[in-house]
């Protein structure tokens, strides 16, 4: 008798069953993403403060940095910036050295989830390369700010890993540590604003 296939789906709080290996846009809800990301800690939780710095808070900051660097960016690309780490609501956040050690399988899983998320919210499955590079640049600015302000890195060390951001961006951005319920609400609200602007 053949062995049964291992379960590849996760039940979400919305009631959806999300197949992690073959995700479909119909099984993705923003409330599930916002909730999951608000409870996933960046930097493996190794940050100063009374609350973990969540992936949801990081995503809000990346979208803000993206908009500061590209003020004429279309709302859909700002939405892509907000959602840039959305797959982590079900696969978690891993620091870059661990991702490299895991190998390409993590990236493939992340890519499948990202395509389904993009389609669900009216974005192209693949974001154009120039936009993706701009989002990645905003992500690096956020990483530098987080590293120096809450993760214990010196500015020199953070600059070696992430590059030093423009002084204007450094001055314009703050790191916020808040309860997950507040971050979840702000993430959901920002998503709704950007969807309404499409």
Rounded to 10 degrees, what is the CA torsion of 163, 167, 168, 173?
A: 70
Residue-wise pLDDT for 126-175, tens only, equals 999 999 999 999 999 999 999 999 999 999 999 999 999 999 999 999 99
% the chain with pLDDT above 90: 87
Q: How confident is the model at residue 105 (pLDDT cuts 50, 70, 90)?
A: confident
Average the pLDDT over 37-51 and give the result.
96
Residue 113, CA distances (Å) to 39, 107, 129 in order: 18, 10, 18
> What is the third-level CATH fold of 25-197?
Hypothetical protein af1432 (1.10.3210)
Q: How confident is the model at residue 100 (pLDDT cuts 50, 70, 90)?
A: confident
Average the pLDDT over 30-41 and give the result.
98
Record the tokens describing residue 173, joined without a space.
């951005």
Cβ-contact 49, 150 below 8 angstroms: yes
Residue 174, CA distances (Å) to 62, 65, 142 in order: 11, 11, 10
Give CA–CA dist 93/100, Å, rounded.
13
Average the pLDDT over 89-107 and give the result.
81
Which region among 19-28, 103-112, 114-123 has the lowest average model confidence (pLDDT)? Answer: 103-112
pLDDT at 67: 98
Mean pLDDT of the chain: 95
Q: How confident is the model at residue 46 (pLDDT cuts 50, 70, 90)?
A: very high
% the chain with pLDDT above 70: 98
Record the tokens describing residue 96, joined without a space.
């870059």
């Amino acid at each position: 008798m053949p062995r049964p296939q291992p379960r590849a789906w996760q039940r979400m709080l919305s009631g959806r069953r999300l197949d992690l290996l073959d995700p479909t846009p119909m099984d993705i809800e923003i409330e599930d993403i916002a909730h999951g990301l608000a409870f996933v800690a960046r930097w493996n939780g190794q940050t100063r403060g009374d609350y973990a710095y969540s992936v949801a808070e990081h995503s809000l900051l990346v979208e803000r940095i993206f908009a500061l660097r590209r003020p004429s960016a279309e709302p859909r690309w700002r939405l892509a910036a907000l959602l840039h780490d959305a797959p982590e609501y079900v696969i978690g956040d891993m620091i870059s050295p661990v991702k490299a050690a895991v190998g390409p399988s993590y990236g493939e899983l992340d890519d499948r989830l990202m395509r389904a998320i993009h389609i669900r919210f009216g974005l192209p499955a693949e974001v154009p390369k120039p936009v993706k590079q701009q989002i990645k640049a905003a992500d690096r600015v956020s990483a530098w700010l987080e590293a120096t302000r809450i993760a214990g890195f010196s500015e020199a060390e953070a600059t070696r890993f992430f590059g030093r951001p423009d002084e204007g961006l450094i001055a314009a951005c703050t790191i916020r540590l808040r309860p997950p319920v507040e971050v979840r609400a702000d993430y959901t609200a920002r998503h709704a604003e950007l969807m309404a602007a499409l």
